[in-house]
Structure 1
Amino acid sequence: MKDAKRPYVICHMVPSLDGRIVTQGWKLPPRAMAEYERTAETYDADAWMIGRISMAPYAGKAKVPVRKAGAPIPREDFIARRDAESYAIALDPSGKLTWKSGSIDEEHVITILTEQVSDDYLAFLQGKGVSYLFGGKDSLDLKKVLAKLRKVFGIRKLLLEGGGKINGSFLAADLIDELSILVAPIADGGVGTPALFDVEGKRGRARHLKLVSVEKRSGDLLWLRYKPKR
């Protein structure tokens, strides 16, 4: 990787033939989803990253208590643990995930926030042992976030498994080093359904890719690997 100041980012997804990524209703066989996990493991990544909505089922539900009066909590990164073998990273700019603990199985949780979150929420995260990094004042600077993940936690390789908007934001910022897609044998056809990449606001610049490999996998999945032409 040319930029050693940040992790190598692999966008790993299961889209339909028409590029949709909401799998509910597809009725894919269990072996198909098992292929997704098996191919992900081949990258031996240090961390995986998804957005708030996708992370909610993993985070669980807990109550964010009102903090007792005291000095304001400084908007400084909080590191609960930095020696985990693997990390689960949530992009949660507004601080809405109500974590039950600071880990998902054996993976330590890192949540990415903006400085607009409340002191109550920061105290809640500290109490749960959830590490947090600030990615910006009002919005997330993804390049800054990746640099922090590398510097603070030593993350060298990251699986990006986000929704279309998150993937689109990484694509627009030219922060995807490899695209790994398992094309499902499904034609979705859902108008307005999130796609593999959705760039908000305006049409994103087209990114040209180079095909690295093609492989047929179990369940009639097709594993395509690309790298961007830079």
Structure 2
Amino acid sequence: MNRPYVICHMLQSIDGKIAGGFFREKQTLELAKIYSDISKDYNGDAIIYGTTTAQEMFSSSKTAPVLNQNPIKKIDYIYKNDKNKWIVVIDPQGQISFYQSVYQNTRLKDKNLIVILTENISSQYLETLKSLNISYLFTGKDEIDLRLALEKLYDLFSIKKLLLQGGRITNTYFIKEDLIDELSLVVSPVVSGEEKQPNIFKDCHEYIGQTFDLKQSDLLMKSGFYLKYVRK
């Protein structure tokens, strides 16, 4: 199977949290700039987010108007222009309310959007995506087939390097399917301790058993760390 090389790139606390109060600490704010620079240095063809992360970025109560509510065939829709970078969003049930001016978002300055869907989606939602020039791909009837999604991203959009910056649920989908090739971690020197905040992966209740080789470790800002692991 042809698929993109997947790099899970995350900023986390010492105890593995990827959200919460530790982001307000001075050390984390300083490291966030380095984290962003590392993201740019990877020069990936696309960044992929899960539903929750994408909702925070692109969802709004002022949604785009729907021009036509007639049934639409459940086939992939591909929109391309002169931009060759992408943001990919996993949204199995069509939960994200994209707003009409979504492409004014600074994250989309040089990128187009692709949404990964199941076939359990309304025609109204598909019509909204098409009206906003958002590509969408079907990868399963009721659940996302992640391997098929990656294969389509590779074949239809020439996405060969993919940065995974999801929440714990999306990250766990990838690690359970053995689809993470590299872990790129910026570690803030802060212990969160917040039980309700997510870790980089959620508890799978089973042993995953994947191992990675440490390829790089750098001290950042005297007390933070950058760790680069590559799948064995």
With normalisation by structure 1, the TM-score equals 0.90
Structure 1: 5+ residue stretches without partners? none
Structure 2: 5+ residue stretches without partners? none
| Structure-2 separation of matches of 1:183 and 1:69 | 47
Whether 1:117 aligns to 2:124 is no
Whether 1:37 aligns to 2:39 is no
| Structure-2 separation of matches of 1:185 and 1:56 | 28
CA contact (8 A) 2:51 2:90 kept: yes
Instruction: Kindly provide the CA deviation profile for residues 171-217 of structure 1, in whole angstroms up to 9, marking residues without a partner as x.
Output: 000000000000111101122421111155x4241211111110112
Q: Which amino acid aligns with 1:55?
A: A
| Consecutive aligned runs of 4 or more in structure 1 exceeding 3 Å deviation | 23-26, 64-70
Structure with more helix by fraction: 2
Q: Which amino acid aligns with 2:224?
A: L
| Structure-1 separation of matches of 2:102 and 2:80 | 9
Q: Quick one: structure 1 residues 40 and 66, their matched pair in 2 at CA, closer, same or farther if it must change by over 3 Å? A: closer
The residue that corresponds to 1:54 in the other structure is 53
Q: Quick one: structure 1 residues 102 and 133, their matched pair in 2 at CA, closer, same or farther if it must change by over 3 Å? A: farther
How many angstroms does 1:48 deviate by? 0.4
Percent identity, aligned pairs only?
Answer: 33
The residue that corresponds to 1:215 in the other structure is 218
Give the number of aligned pairs.
Answer: 224
Q: Which amino acid aligns with 2:85?
A: S
The residue that corresponds to 1:131 in the other structure is 135
Whether 1:27 aligns to 2:24 is yes
How many angstroms does 1:220 deviate by? 2.9
| Structure-1 separation of matches of 2:207 and 2:82 | 37
Q: What's the Cα RMSD here?
A: 1.9
The residue that corresponds to 1:89 in the other structure is 88
| Structure-1 separation of matches of 2:55 and 2:91 | 10
Whether 1:226 aligns to 2:229 is yes
With normalisation by structure 2, the TM-score equals 0.89
Whether 1:154 aligns to 2:151 is no
| Structure-1 separation of matches of 2:196 and 2:122 | 33
| Structure-1 separation of matches of 2:215 and 2:63 | 46
The residue that corresponds to 2:14 in the other structure is 17
CA contact (8 A) 2:120 2:142 kept: yes
CA contact (8 A) 1:93 1:112 kept: yes
CA contact (8 A) 2:20 2:194 kept: no
